[in-house]
Amino acid sequence: MYQDTIAAISTPLGEGGIGIVRLSGKDALSIAKTVFRGKLSHRRLNYGHIIDPDQGEVVDEVLVSYMAAPHTYTREDVVEINCHGGPLPLQRTLQLVLRYGARLANPGEFTLRAFLNGRIDLAQAESVLSIVSARTEASLRLAVQGLEGRLSAAVRAVRSQVMSALAYLTARIDFPEDEIEPQDIVQPLSKALQSLHGLIATADAGIVYRQGVRTAIVGRPNVGKSSLLNRLLRQDRSIVTAIPGTTRDTIEEVVNLKGVPFLLVDTAGIIRSRDLVESLGVERSRKAIEQADLVLLVIDLSQPITDADREIMELLGNKKTALVAANKCDLPQQAEPEGLGWEVVHTSALTGEGLAQLEERMVDLALGGRIFVSDGLMVQNVRQKEALERAGRNLSQALSGTASSMPDDFITIDLTAAASALGEITGETVQDDLLEAIFSNFCVGK
């Protein structure tokens, strides 16, 4: 499957200045020469035209680059055709290269080939996806660190210590008659476990920076949810009127708070209604609460807490990641939000009072009180975290077995499992189904 030549449009569809059709594989150059009229030199940007060889028709005026293996992204021959950025020239160019021998690439297949051909490891490949989807400078910085191999280097250092101890114990098992010089494995394994715990401690914050925090803004009608959203976004995104029920559907926007991406979901006011459209909006608001990582419950300080407020609080259940935004604090206070069970921040969407404190508390809740260090190493996804935790458990069991003088073959089982789990992060022990799951999240053309 990975011996054929693949092709895809590697830029977003739509109108733009340029669009790129990328080919990779042993036939990339010959296919390009079939459809390209012009001189095609290695590592040069070559001017010419894409033509339909069957009809002699010029499809587009283009610039084409050819890069020979192994000094390419995939370590295969790569051709990139820079077309005008309209859907039609891109699609026609793609159809031509497919007609003359290329296969349409699967999602992430270019990066998958880069991994399979040894240009990058699996953690670096995942960082490519993180770079593409980065929403803040902080998340981009972390993704670039991953692509540079910083996480891979840390994991390999731990795995090397585990493999060294495993090799020693295996030698003692396989050659009991030989005099194998005693070796202390407790100290290096303890150091390895300490390093693992340090990496695991960064995972939750790293995942937040990469994936963002889905935040539902909920409350009864006219308490200021949309006004608060507009304040957080620093722009008028939601319609704000004095008429209750203006928002009838969920509105989603991303905001960068201290480097953490928050996906803010402005929901319809939650009330009982016979209006079909309004009731559908309310149902979507309920689902937004269920799916949220963080909930901002907005109440109106200028009015006493109502039964409608309490019904919404019941929907939150025992969610720990919730904040009460006590809005309209610029008006005489009638409500007593303290004692509701969640932290309360007094705000005014009208004047901006309390907004900085609200943002600070949102970030603190998202990161669990951790402080982000710009050049610090962080684990960036759940798969990596789970593999590290598994390796940590196996390593702890191996150390416990050593302390209780268990037979070497029992300890090697735990060390083998730990090494395998660590290898899953870099791709040294990865299975095909896991690769398929990881790369299916990429866009076609990357």
Q: Give CA separation, 43 vs 19, 64, 67, in Å.
A: 19, 10, 5
Of 29, 119, 131, the residue nearest 80 (C-alpha): 29
Distance in angstroms (rounded) separating the CA atoms of residues 113 and 75: 8
Question: pLDDT tens digits for 204-220?
Answer: 888 888 888 999 998 88
Question: Predicted confidence band at 320 (pLDDT cuts at 50, 70, 90)?
Answer: low
Distance in angstroms (rounded) separating the CA atoms of residues 5 and 354: 58
Query: Is pLDDT at 147 greater than 60 in this prediction?
Result: yes
Q: Domain-by-domain residue ranges, the chain?
A: 6-105, 124-202+378-439, 213-367
- Count each helix (H run) and each strand (E run) in the chain, helices first: 15, 13
Count of residues in the chain: 446
Query: Is pLDDT at 162 greater than 90 in this prediction?
Result: yes
6-105 architecture in CATH? 2-Layer Sandwich (3.30)
Give the angle 374-159-111 at the CA atoms, nearest 5°.
Answer: 65
- Per the DSSP assignment, residues forming a β-bridge with 62 are 48
Sequence-separated (6 or more) residues with CB below 8 Å from residue 186? 399, 402, 403
Which parts of 328-431 are beta strand (E)? 343-346
Q: Is the CB of residue 184 less than 8 Å from the CB of residue 417?
A: no
Question: pLDDT tens digits for 53-80?
Answer: 999 899 999 999 999 999 999 999 999 9
Q: Could you give the maximum distance between any two Cα atoms of the chain, in Å?
A: 88
Question: Predicted confidence band at 276 (pLDDT cuts at 50, 70, 90)?
Answer: very low
> Tell me, what's the pLDDT at 412?
94
Question: pLDDT tens digits for 395-446?
Answer: 999 999 999 989 999 999 999 999 999 999 999 988 888 888 888 888 888 8
> Tell me, what's the pLDDT at 369?
62
Fold matches, 6-105 and 124-202+378-439:
no
Distance in angstroms (rounded) separating the CA atoms of residues 74 and 118: 9
Q: 213-367 in CATH: which number?
A: 3.40.50.300
Question: Predicted confidence band at 376 (pLDDT cuts at 50, 70, 90)?
Answer: low
CA atoms within 13 A on the CB side of 45: 4
Greatest mean pLDDT among 101-110, 128-137, 298-307 = 101-110
124-202+378-439 architecture in CATH? Up-down Bundle (1.20)
- What secondary structure does DSSP assign to 242-291, as a single string? SSTT---S-EEEEEEETTEEEEEEE---------HHHHHHHHHHHHHHHH
Distance in angstroms (rounded) separating the CA atoms of residues 314 and 82: 56
Supply the pTM of this predicted model. Answer: 0.83
Calculate what percentage of the chain has a pLDDT beyond 70. 89
Residues 248-263, mean pLDDT to the nearest whole number:
82
Distance from the Cα of residue 13 to its chain's centroid:
22
Residue 424: its H or E element: helix 408-426
